[in-house]
Amino acid sequence: MRQTIRRYMSGILTALLCMCMLPTAAVDAAENQSGKSVDIPVVITAEGVLPSEPETYTISLTKQVESAPMPEGADGDTASLQIQGPGTGTFTFNYSKPGVFHYRITQEKGSKTNCTYDDAVYDLYVYVTKSADGGLDINAFMEKGGEEGKPEEAAFHNVYTGTAKYDPPLEKVVDEKSGTAPKDSVFTFRMTPQDPSAPMPDNKEASHDPSTGALTMNIKGPGSYEFGWMYFNENHCGQTFVYTVKEIDNGESGYSYDRNIYKLTIKVVPAEDGIALQTFMTDESGEVDGMKFTNTYEEKEDEPEKEDDTPDKHHRHRKDRSGAKTGDETNITLWVSIVGASLVLLLALLFLKRKSSRKDDI
């Protein structure tokens, strides 16, 4: 009988000791939830060259005791928490009866081949007891496998290694020869890889041709732009990737388009921390520092037909309207006068000659 009592008292003392060892922060969180629920924080951190679009991490919680209540939205024995990271999230538990509940928290391995995902395992223990006023008290603590202490959050640290990135720069210039170019003019550029499987810029707004791997990007107005981040990993080490970049003639009124074609070469070489990139850019003139496309703009206007204000034209117009012949005409009156005078002179000479002949006959 005494041994049974001793074992019973020993169990009570052990439970009390466990309660005393619970972290203060976890106890406070439980008390702030009116003794009926508890929040378990999850934190995702990362280092290295992160993806341009934040990765979504999945944290799984699995109950280790059949009777353990699960967070809302759980699927059977497992609940999942999605965190777009790096970032934080929370598992929230609600309890309605006393008990000791055990859970396990892990991170699912993601899809990025260049990322080492934290495979830490956390064991979560939740003690639910009746309070003096008839309600419930909730106390929780975690243990991380292989480590001492009781962490206040399930923390996972992911490491991205062996990656390098490059964002091809682009400058658009408009040379206004005459007039003012529209500020909202759309210019189109195309980057085409020599190998269709080569890494391409991560640009969601651009269009991609899966057959050639080409990327076509639209910009609005002159200025400095970027195609988007290009990502390279250890699998690309030792390879050389070649791209051509040109402007597409959109046929907008007033513009003369730049016909230059740039050649971008990217070499992936080993480095102390993984890989590094060596980039070269050339055009028909040789090596250049960047891609600059210059279009000229000349305002086009419809020219009205000019009126001929010369006197001759007005004179011809009057003759045209009267029905007379057009062009250069001789002065008829002058010629008639000359002919008449000549006839008179000729008759006078004939008369005088005749008179002279008569005198000789006498």
- Residue 47 sits in a domain whose CATH number is 2.60.40.3050
Averaged pLDDT, 150-179: 92
Amino acid 103 reads Y
**Which domain, by its residues, includes 82?**
34-160
Residue at which a domain ends, from 281, 298, 315: 298
**Residues 145, 78 share a domain:** yes
Backbone φ and ψ of 43, nearest 5°: -125, 130
Distance CA 29, CA 35 (A): 9
Q: What tokens were used for 158?
A: 């992911």
Confirm whether pTM is higher than 0.75. no
Tell me how far apart the 2 most distant CA atoms of the chain are, in Å: 208
Mean pLDDT, the chain, integer: 82
Domain membership of residue 310 (yes or no) is no
- pLDDT at residue 303 above 60? no
Averaged pLDDT, 297-315: 63
- Per residue in 168-227, pLDDT tens? 999 999 999 999 999 889 999 999 999 999 999 989 899 999 999 999 999 999 999 999
Domains in the chain: how many in total? 2
**Residues 222, 139 share a domain:** no
Residue 311: the pLDDT is 54
**Residues 194, 83 share a domain:** no
- pLDDT at residue 354 above 90? no
**Residues 115, 153 share a domain:** yes
Q: What tokens were used for 87?
A: 């970032």
Domain membership of residue 306 (yes or no) is no
**Residues 264, 237 share a domain:** yes
For the chain, state the CA radius of gyration: 49
- How far, CA to CA in Å, does 261 sit from each of 118, 195, 293? 45, 18, 9
Domain membership of residue 104 (yes or no) is yes
- How far, CA to CA in Å, does 259 sit from each of 160, 166, 189? 40, 25, 11
